[in-house]
Amino acid sequence: MKIIKALSLLKEKGLSNTGSRKRILEALMFSSGPLSAHEIYQRLLKEGVNCNESTVYRNLQKFLEKDLVQSFTLNDGVSRFEFKKSSDDHHHHIVCLKCKMMKCLDLCKVEDYFEEMIKKLGFVSVSHNLEFYGVCKSCTNSGLK
C-alpha cells in the first residue's frame, strides 16, 4: 500500500520513479516524526538501500520544490523534513531539551492572532516558524531535568 501511494505521488508531481527517491519519500511518509537527511540516509542503509547521502539531500530539495515535504531547523542547527499531508498542512512542534523527542502540535492560530497587526504593517503572504521547547514527562520522571 505505501509503495503504491509513494509511486502515485511521485508521478502526480512529475518526478521520475527512482528506487532511492521512492524509498526516501516512504521514509518521510511513514515516519512518526520529522527526520534529518542523515537520519533518512541511516534508515535506508539499514534497509539495504544502496544510495549516497548526497542523493538524499538532492531528493529532499526536489521534494521541497514540489511541495511534498516541509523543512524546519531547530536550535541545534539541523534541518529536519516531514511529509506534507496536504498543501495547507501547517503545524508546530514541541521538542524535549533532554532527549530531543519531538511531538507535533496540530493547531496553529499564530497568523490569526497577528493578522490585524500584519495587515497594518503592509505585509501579505505571511509565513512563520515557531517551535516550543521543554522537558518531556519521561525525562522529568527519570530526573533528567
pLDDT tens digits along 130-145 = 788 999 999 998 865 5
pLDDT at 1 over 50: no
Chain region(s) in the chain for CATH 3.30.1490.190: 90-145
Give ranges for CATH 1.10.10.10 in the chain.
Answer: 1-85
Contacts of 112 (CB under 8 A, 6+ apart): none
pLDDT tens readout for residues 76-133: 888 999 888 766 667 788 888 888 888 887 777 776 777 788 888 998 866 777 788 9
pTM, two decimals, is 0.75
Could you give phi then psi for residue 104, rounded to 5 degrees? Answer: -80, 140
Topology annotation, domain 90-145: Dna Ligase; domain 1 (3.30.1490)
For 1-85, give the CATH class.
mainly alpha
- Written as nine digits, the cell of 12 is 502526480
The predicted structure's pLDDT at residue 5 = 72
Which tens digits make up the pLDDT trace of 15-31? 888 889 989 999 998 88
